[in-house]
């Protein structure tokens, strides 16, 4: 059994730890878990602390929403309505910075989408490494219906997930799509029948990842993420650098020795 973590003292996010797997639950169900400044600050604070933990304490992160209606149903519109241009820029930069922390984490991050993932909620899911969605999930970037555009990375990450043409269609129309359509276009990795099935399926994925070398998984994430920012030639050089660095790790020695001796490896994250 895992344990709920009370020591962080957050108001709107709940933490659960089971061995080295962490779960963050966005918990403001009265507003369908809408992203307020307070929630973004709390999530950012936790991610910064998580980034400092070793593999013995943190090897994976799940992000989900409270209840069965919403993962995160967008930003807090009441807060948005009060912003001027300068404040709006600061708000966007804050959200982008926190979501980028998910990319910088050396561990895999999975969004367990349990309902509406709209606006900032869709952008939060896009910032994760995998997305698993329940059948009732809905995805969308409806900002144009408010006279706005996505501000937490949606115009950048959606096209990388589903391609330019589909991203343009979804952003320009602001239309919602269901979980099956999200899976069809490559936005979602897997769709499960119900919210109750989400965490068991995600946990099973992590149990597979946890059998692999932690440092190799971390380097894989770094290399994949950097490849988007570099020209092909530079990305290949970076991959070669990540590949060669692993030859100085104990895990690489253990993995190759285990293979040659026909036994299961025992990785330590070093």
Query: How far, in Å, CA of 92 to CA of 163, rounded?
Result: 23
What does the CA dihedral 240, 52, 189, 142 come to, rounded to 10 degrees? -110
Query: How far, in Å, CA of 49 to CA of 47, rounded?
Result: 5
- The separation between the first and the last C-alpha atoms of the chain, rounded to the nearest angstrom, is 26
Query: How far, in Å, CA of 106 to CA of 63, rounded?
Result: 16
Which 3 state secondary structure label does DSSP give 227? Answer: helix
Q: Which one from 42, 66, 143, 239 is the annotated catalytic residue?
A: 143
Rounded to the nearest 5°, which phi and psi values hold at 70? -145, 135
Q: In what order do the strands lie in the sheet with 3-4?
A: 3-4, 13-18, 21-26, 60-65, 109-113, 130-134, 190-192
Q: How far is CA 115 from CA 92, 204, 222, in A?
A: 24, 21, 30
Verify whether residue 143 is a known catalytic residue. yes
Pairing of strands 177-178, 138-140: antiparallel
Q: Which one from 66, 101, 123, 239 is the annotated catalytic residue?
A: 123
Which of 164, 109, 165, 169 has the alpha carbon at shortest distance from 139?
169
Q: Which residue has the tokens 């309902």?
A: 115
Question: Could you list the active site residues?
Answer: 123, 143
């Amino acid at each position: 059994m895992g344990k709920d973590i009370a020591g962080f003292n957050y108001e709107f996010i709940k933490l659960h730890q089971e061995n080295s797997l962490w779960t963050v639950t966005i918990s403001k169900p009265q507003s369908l878990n809408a992203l307020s400044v307070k929630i973004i600050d709390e999530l950012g604070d936790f991610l910064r602390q998580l980034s400092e933990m070793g593999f013995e304490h943190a090897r994976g992160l799940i992000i989900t929403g409270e209840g069965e209606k919403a993962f995160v149903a967008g930003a807090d519109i009441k807060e948005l309505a009060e912003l001027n241009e300068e404040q709006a820029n600061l708000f966007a930069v804050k959200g982008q910075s926190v979501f980028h922390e998910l990319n910088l984490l050396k561990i895999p991050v999975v969004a367990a989408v349990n309902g509406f993932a709209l606006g900032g909620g869709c952008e939060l899911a896009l910032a994760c490494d995998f997305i698993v969605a329940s059948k009732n999930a809905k995805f969308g970037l409806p900002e144009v219906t408010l006279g706005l555009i996505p501000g937490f990375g949606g115009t950048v990450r959606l096209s990388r997930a589903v391609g330019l043409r589909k991203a343009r269609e979804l952003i320009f129309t602001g239309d919602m799509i269901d979980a099956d359509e999200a899976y069809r276009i490559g936005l979602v990795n897997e769709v499960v029948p119900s919210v109750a099935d989400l965490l068991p399926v995600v946990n099973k994925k992590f149990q597979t990842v946890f059998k692999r070398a932690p440092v190799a998984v971390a380097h894989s994430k770094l290399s994949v993420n950097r490849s988007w920012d570099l020209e092909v030639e530079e990305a290949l050089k970076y991959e070669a650098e990540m590949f060669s660095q692993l030859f100085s790790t104990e895990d690489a020695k253990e993995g190759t020795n285990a293979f040659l001796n026909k036994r299961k490896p025992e990785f330590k994250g070093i």
